[in-house]
């Protein structure tokens, strides 16, 4: 797969406890991005954060540590990112989604994995 030099970065902010059809939302989003053949996705688990409800989520407080912030980043062509947005809208109950321009400098697949 080749990515254009001028692409978009899709960034999705959700909570670790968010679910979609019984599984973690971040897993469902990555699976759907893969199914739609987007360039790649990475999931980051945050140490501390808060969102629209201003409720602090941190690993320091044992009772809140099961709902840490999650950020998913996906880079691909503008058209593919735009086409993926309705899927996100369907899957997410709450959270934040941002899109920004990205300049792709290098995108090289490694050696194919053995089957």
pLDDT, tens digit (0-9, with 9 covering 90-100), for 54-72: 777 777 655 556 678 999 9
Residue 30 lies in a domain: yes
Identify the domain containing residue 99 by its residue range: 6-103
pLDDT of residue 109: 74
pLDDT, tens digit (0-9, with 9 covering 90-100), for 13-26: 999 999 999 999 99
Residue 33 lies in a domain: yes
Number of compact structural domains in the chain: 1
pTM attached to this predicted model = 0.84
Domain CATH for 28: 3.30.70.120
Residue 53 lies in a domain: yes
**Dihedral pair phi/psi, residue 76, rounded to 5°:** -165, -175
Residue 111 lies in a domain: no
Residue 37 lies in a domain: yes
**Tokens coding 89:** 């809208």
Residue 113 lies in a domain: no
pLDDT of residue 12: 98
* Spans of the chain below 50 pLDDT: none
Residue 109 lies in a domain: no
Residue 95 lies in a domain: yes
């Amino acid at each position: 797969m080749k990515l254009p030099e001028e692409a978009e970065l899709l960034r999705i902010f959700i909570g670790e406890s968010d679910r979609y059809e019984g599984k973690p939302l971040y897993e469902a989003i990555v699976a759907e991005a893969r199914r739609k053949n987007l360039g790649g996705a990475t999931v980051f688990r945050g140490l501390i954060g808060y969102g629209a409800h201003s409720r602090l989520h941190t690993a320091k407080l044992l009772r809140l540590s099961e709902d840490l912030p999650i950020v998913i980043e996906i880079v691909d062509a503008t058209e593919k990112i735009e086409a993926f947005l309705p899927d996100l809208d369907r899957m997410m109950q709450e959270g934040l989604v941002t899109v920004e321009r990205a300049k792709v400098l290098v995108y090289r697949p490694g050696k194919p994995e053995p089957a």
